[in-house]
């Protein structure tokens, strides 16, 4: 179960940690582009030192109610950061985008993975992804970022999410994305109630039986606030618990804010698995 990310081949039968590097203007209150890039690279450097295998660079906020970002704005934010991290650090750079232009530019600057919360449904995205030759992560989202959390409903959340993802797999493979370059993500918090999210968490082994490596992101999310009563700044223990469960269930990539703590948790799971009799 190996996959090649722009020159770096990884064993996805193990769990890897992906650090989140946001390059939205509100994530660094500085204003200037140079400062933003420097701070993002600094953050990524610490994540690599802490054991991250991937860093996910995103310039479009999917936050409910966030203003949509123009393609040029997203390019201006993401490109210098992808380029600097890919050049300076030993890590797979994931580009968190739905834009065909950002996918192409990111790939040319050294990105190793396309992470699209819209599962390549935007105009030209599948074709752009195929051209880059990079692996892609296809995520499930119900509705659109602005309104997705308004009373989401499913017939059966696990079946519905799996059916959506397999439909996107079919479209992508037909267009030329190799089957062994696809990761799937149930999209925790993207158009799901707390119950939906925890049903999906419980069903991760089932999800894995679809035959594609999984990537998940639960770090600091509302679903963890809903069961702990904690504010976002107090969700580290719950986030590490969610990551531990993910590793136990065989998830390949765990997307988090807190790399060091998550890497420790993954190491504990791995120690148990390699000792199991
Ligand atoms: C506001 C709302 C800010 C949501 C940030 C978010 C995922 C992702 C995100 C995920 C994959 C967050 C999310 N979440 N990509 N991008 N999977 N593949 O909490 O779960 O980080 S953005």
**CATH number, residue 129:** 3.20.20.20
Active site residue 249: no
> Could you give the number of structural domains in the chain?
1
d(CA 175, CA 173): 5
Q: What is the pTM of this model?
A: 0.96
Beta bridge partners of 17: 254
Distance from the alpha carbon of residue 127 to the mean position of ligand 1, in angstroms: 23
Burial class (CB in 10 A: 0-12, 13-18, 19+), 170: exposed
In short, whether 247's Cβ falls inside 6 Å of ligand 1 is: no
In short, whether 96's Cβ falls inside 6 Å of ligand 1 is: yes
163-207 residue pLDDT tens:
999 999 999 999 999 999 999 999 999 999 999 999 999 999 999
Domain that holds residue 27: 2-275
Most confident of 50-64, 65-79, 260-274: 260-274
Distance from the alpha carbon of residue 58 to the mean position of ligand 1, in angstroms: 9
101-135 residue pLDDT tens:
999 999 999 999 999 999 999 999 999 999 999 99
d(CA 99, CA 73): 11
Average pLDDT, rounded, for the chain? 94
- Of 17, 18, 117, 243, the one to substitute when testing ligand 1's pocket (max ligand atoms within 8 A of C-beta) is 117
């Amino acid at each position: 179960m190996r996959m090649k990310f722009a020159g770096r081949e990884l064993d996805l039968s193990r769990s890897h940690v992906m650090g989140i590097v946001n390059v939205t203007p509100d994530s660094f209150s500085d204003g200037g582009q140079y400062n933003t890039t420097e701070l993002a690279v600094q953050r990524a450097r610490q994540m690599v030192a802490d054991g991250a295998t991937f860093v996910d660079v995103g310039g479009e906020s999917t936050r409910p109610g966030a203003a949509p970002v123009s393609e040029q704005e997203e390019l201006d934010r993401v490109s210098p950061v992808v380029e600097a991290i890919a050049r300076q650090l030993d890590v797979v750079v994931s580009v968190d985008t739905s834009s065909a232009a950002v996918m192409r530019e990111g790939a040319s600057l050294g990105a190793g993975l396309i992470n699209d919360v819209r599962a390549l449904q935007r105009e030209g995205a599948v074709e752009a992804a195929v051209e880059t030759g990079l692996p892609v992560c296809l995520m499930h989202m119900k509705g659109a970022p602005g309104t997705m959390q308004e009373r989401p409903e499913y017939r059966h959340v696990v079946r519905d999410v799996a059916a959506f993802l397999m439909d996107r797999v079919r479209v992508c493979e037909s267009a030329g994305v190799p089957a062994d370059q696809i990761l799937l993500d149930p999209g925790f918090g993207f158009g799901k109630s707390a119950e939906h999210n925890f049903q999906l968490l419980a069903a991760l082994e089932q999800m894995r039986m679809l035959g594609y490596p999984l990537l998940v992101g639960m770090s600091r999310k509302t679903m963890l606030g809903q069961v702990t009563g904690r504010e976002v700044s107090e969700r580290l223990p719950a986030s590490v618990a969610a990551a531990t469960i993910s590793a136990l269930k065989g998830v390949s990539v765990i997307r988090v804010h807190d790399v060091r703590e998550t890497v420790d948790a993954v190491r504990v799971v791995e120690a148990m698995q390699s000792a199991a009799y």
